[in-house]
Amino acid sequence: MNYDVIVIGGGHAGIEASLASARMGAKTLLLTILVEQIGASSCNPAIGGLAKGHLVKELDALGGEMGLCTDATGIQFRILNESKGPAVRGSRAQIDMDRYRIYMRDIMLKTPNLDIKQEMVESLIVEDGEAKGVITQLAQEYRASKIIITAGTFLNGVIHIGETQLSAGRQGEFASIELSKSWRELGFDIGRLKTGTCARVDGTTIDFSQMEEQGGDENPIPFSFRTDRKTFNPVQLPCMVAYTNSSTHNVIESNFYRAPLFSGQIDGIGPRYCPSIEDKVNRFRDRDRHQIFIEPQTLEANEFYLNGMSTSLPTDVQLDMIHSMAGMENAKIVRYGYAIEYDFIQPTELRHTLETKKIKNLYCAGQVNGTTGYEEAAAQGFMAGVNAVLNLRGEEPFVLRRDEAYIGVLIDDLVTKGTKEPYRMFTSRAEYRLLLREDNAHIRLSHYGYKFGLLSDEFYTQVANQKEALDEAVEFMKSNSETPTKEFLQILDSLGEVKINDRTFWIDIIGRGEFDRAKLVKLLPEFDKYSDEVIDQILIEAKYSRYIEKQHYQILKMEDMLRIKIPADFVYRTVSGLSNEIVEKLELHTPTTLHGASQISGVTPSALEIIHIYIKMAQKSNKG
Ligand SMILES: Cc1cc2nc3c(=O)[nH]c(=O)nc-3n(C[C@H](O)[C@H](O)[C@H](O)COP(=O)(O)OP(=O)(O)OC[C@H]3O[C@@H](n4cnc5c(N)ncnc54)[C@H](O)[C@@H]3O)c2cc1C
């Protein structure tokens, strides 16, 4: 059987890859181990979060499905960092993990040009350096012009629970061993990574009265720009907050010797910023408690996820440590926590299109590229799907720049720097984060989605109108000003705004104040014609305008700075303000220029600035 595109794996990357490909008109086949598990949440039942929310919004603005599915199946919506600036706010939703899977399966089954088959791929057919097809466990051969591997944690997956080791891709699901062999035989640089998950508990055995409640937002905001904000009215279930205590820590500590993480049983490197509970107890010995969020997994079944308690300790230890927490004394574990090790491809093997450099027409996306997280996976899957189709048509590749999107930062970081640990997105990875906000993702990116035929005329016209209105308003505010006449100062005073002393541009009057729609149209009645969405954007743009200009200037300065040479005898450990992680990496790679340092994963722009200052100080004292 011949297809244009074959996608291997129905996880978050595989979903977006196959939907994008089929929706762009390519005859697409999704091969996955279990159809019920399409869109499964291997770990926590939540989408978004800091920086991850940005990825979902960008994906949505491009025509991806994750945001729409989250809006349809979410059970608690919250904006994180609400009190901070719009650039670092992150949308997060608790999802009903069962409904999420069903929604995705249903959408995919209904998508024209997309066939779905429950079959495990065992090998890749490669001829003359080009991927041509796959062979499955049922000895079926499928041929295609493009193959996209999105096999997640399944490639040679090994699960650890205490001393027990099992071959699995997720608990209860087959590992993908033959495909991993086939992949390795192609000569790729393949490594091992590790991640983990917590136990799930029977809700009827938890005493919630002993815990704190954390509700969703009063006015929840949908993820998707295509969901109607006015009628959006999701269920808002609470999450509960519990705490570990000294007994919990004693139980864990006295069983360190049985922890696969410390006994040498696990080789793969895990996500440092998402440590297991045994790792937290070991690393943060001064902490007398850790917060654990007790999160509902689904509306229909009373099963809860213990966010913050990922572990691979033996089953009896898991039970003891859970029982030691207030409200959990009688808790029954439904599923035990575990760690999993799996193969990943060093992403420097890939081009920016996510096609492998060695084998033409073979793409990799998601966890297999060394990332962690549903959102990172989905974003890559989409980009691989779109690029596979564009290449098929002989069109220009679709590569997002670092100043255009977090997705651009993600892929650029991966393919230029590679990774040694599971890569997750952080706002600090983006140099241009004032430009790359969640709230303006549709304005930044929807023209691409529309060009690829992934967004409707109606939606795109709406976005284009919004953008035009915003540009008009910003242009007005930047080119018009007001003088501090008695009358004007009185108006400002009546609005509770500080007075101006000199002629001031509107962008600054609005930007430095605390405006909402009502106050804004009192000052600028002509702005009343704009919709609420446009007014929100105007207020944010005004707030950020001068910073954005500064950021552009800093970008130019940064380009100059990157040319600076780092002396061979430079001692990173003496630089205050650098994290241990950054120091270790710099010592390992010994870059010769700041540009070289910037290419090392995890070395942030602010770290570069600090090093730059130290280099300048050293030069001065040498001269002096
Ligand atoms: C135990 C565990 C804990 C995790 N903890 C976290 C966490 O704390 N935070 C976080 O952000 N992320 C976590 N993750 C990672 C998160 O689940 C992944 O990042 C995300 O699911 C990756 O999406 P993906 O599409 O790349 O792969 P997956 O969601 O893993 O999907 C892979 C798909 O490929 C299919 N497949 C595999 N091999 C084959 C084959 N040979 N033929 C056909 N189909 C195949 C599988 O059936 C599956 O559908 C965890 C994952 C696991 C397993």
Give the tens place of pLDDT for each residue, 65-80. Answer: 999 999 999 999 999 9
Cα–Cα dist 43/90, whole Å? 19
Instruction: Please report the pLDDT score of residue 467 as a whole number.
Output: 96
pTM, two decimals, is: 0.89
Both tokens of residue 112? 């024209």
Map tokens 């010592």 to a residue.
Answer: 587
What's the pLDDT at 269? 80
DSSP 366: G
* Ligand 1: centre distance to CA 11 (Å): 6
Tokens describing residue 228: 């109607």
What's the rounded Cα separation, in Å, for the pair 232 and 506? 34
Least confident range of 259-268, 272-281, 328-337: 259-268
Return the DSSP state at 556.
H
| CA distances for 514 relative to 496, 535, 546, angstroms | 9, 13, 16
Beta strands in 163-224 (DSSP E): 164-167, 190-197, 200-202, 212-214
pLDDT, average across residues 293-305:
94
Confidence of residue 563 (pLDDT cuts 50, 70, 90): confident
Question: Residue 622 has what pLDDT?
Answer: 75
Q: Beta strand pairing status for 190-197 and 338-345?
A: antiparallel
How far is CA 360 from its chain centroid?
27
Q: Which two tokens stand for residue 261?
A: 């993480």
| Residue 346 · residue 22 · CB < 8 Å | no
Which stretch of DSSP H or E encloses residue 479?
A: helix 457-479
Alpha carbons 417 and 403: distance in angstroms, whole number: 17
Instruction: Provide residues with CB under 6 Å of ligand 1.
Output: 8-14, 31-34, 37, 42-43, 120-121, 150-154, 169-170, 176, 179, 195-197, 274, 340, 366-367, 372-374, 377
> Which residue CA neighbors atom 41 of ligand 1 most closely?
121
Which spans in 134-283 are helix H? 177-185, 246-253, 260-263, 277-283
Burial string for 283-322 (b: 16+ CB within 10 Å, else e) reads eeeeeeebebbbbbbbeeeebbbbbbbbbbbbeebbbbbb
Q: How many other C-beta atoms can be found within 10 angstroms of the C-beta atom of residue 212?
A: 12
Token pair 């979903």 is found at 15
- Out of 6, 19, 31, 32, mutate this one to test ligand 1's pocket (max ligand atoms within 8 Å of CB): namely 32
List own/partner pairs for 273-277 with CB under 8 A and 24 or more apart. Answer: 273/424, 273/426, 274/195, 274/310, 274/372, 274/422, 274/424, 275/310, 276/196, 276/310, 276/311, 276/312, 276/339, 277/198, 277/244, 277/252, 277/308, 277/309, 277/310, 277/311, 277/313, 277/321
Instruction: Choose among 320, 314, 357, 303: nearest CA to 336.
Output: 314
Look at the block and give the residue holding tokens 């290419």: 599
* CATH assignment, 200-340: 2.40.30.260
Tokens 């023209």 correspond to: 447
> Quick one: average pLDDT of 541-549?
88
Domain ranges for the chain: 2-193+342-447, 200-340, 456-552, 562-623
Asked if pLDDT for residue 116 goes beyond 70, the answer is yes
- Percent of the chain having pLDDT more than 70? 100
Contacts of 514 (CB under 8 A, 6+ apart): 496, 497
| Residue 614 three-state SS | helix
Which range in 21-30, 77-86, 495-504, 585-594 is most confidently predicted, on average pLDDT?
A: 21-30
β partners of residue 360: 130
Residue in this structure with the two tokens 């100059």, named with its chain if needed? 560
Taking domain 562-623, whether its CATH number is 1.10.150.570 is answered by yes
* φ, ψ (nearest 5 deg) of residue 240: -115, 155
CATH 1.10.10.1800 fits 456-552, yes or no: yes
Residue range 425-458, pLDDT digits in tens: 999 999 888 889 999 999 999 999 999 999 999 9
Closest CA to 67 of 229, 239, 265: 229
**151 CA to middle of ligand 1, Å?**
7
Mean of pLDDT values over 382-408: 96
CATH code of the domain occupying 2-193+342-447: 3.50.50.60
Only one residue has tokens 């007398």, namely 288
Q: What's the gap in Å between 417 CA and the centre of ligand 1?
A: 22
Atom of ligand 1 nearest to the CA of 365: 26
CB 157 within 8 A of CB 170: yes
CA distances from 379 to 40, 375, 449, 604 (A): 16, 6, 13, 22
Give tens-digit pLDDT for 208-240. Answer: 999 999 999 999 999 999 999 889 999 999 999
Indicate whether 527 pLDDT > 70.
yes
The reported pLDDT for the residue numbered 624 is: 62
Distance CA 378, CA 356 (A): 18
Q: 361 CA to middle of ligand 1, Å?
A: 23
- Between 187-201, 245-259, 351-365, 578-592, the lowest mean confidence (pLDDT) is in 578-592
Residue type, position 414, single letter: L
**Coil, strand, or helix at residue 44?**
coil
Distance from the alpha carbon of residue 405 to the mean position of ligand 1, in angstroms? 24
Task: Kindly tell me if the per-residue pLDDT of 466 is higher than 90.
Answer: yes
Residues in the chain: 624
Which ranges of 186-301 would DSSP assign to H, the alpha helix?
Answer: 246-253, 260-263, 277-283
* Tens digit of each residue's pLDDT (9 = 90 or more) over 131-158: 999 999 999 999 999 999 999 999 999 9
Checking if the pLDDT of 555 tops 80, the result is: no
How far apart are the CA of 584 and the centre of ligand 1, in A?
A: 29
Q: Please, how many CA atoms are within 13 Å of residue 29, restricted to the half-sphere of its CB?
A: 21
Q: Would you say 623 and 594 are in contact if contact means Cβ atoms under 8 Å apart?
A: no
475: left (phi over 0), alpha (psi -120 to 50) or beta: alpha
Cα four-point dihedral sign 400, 405, 411, 416: positive
Determine how β-strand 362-364 pairs with β-strand 141-149: parallel
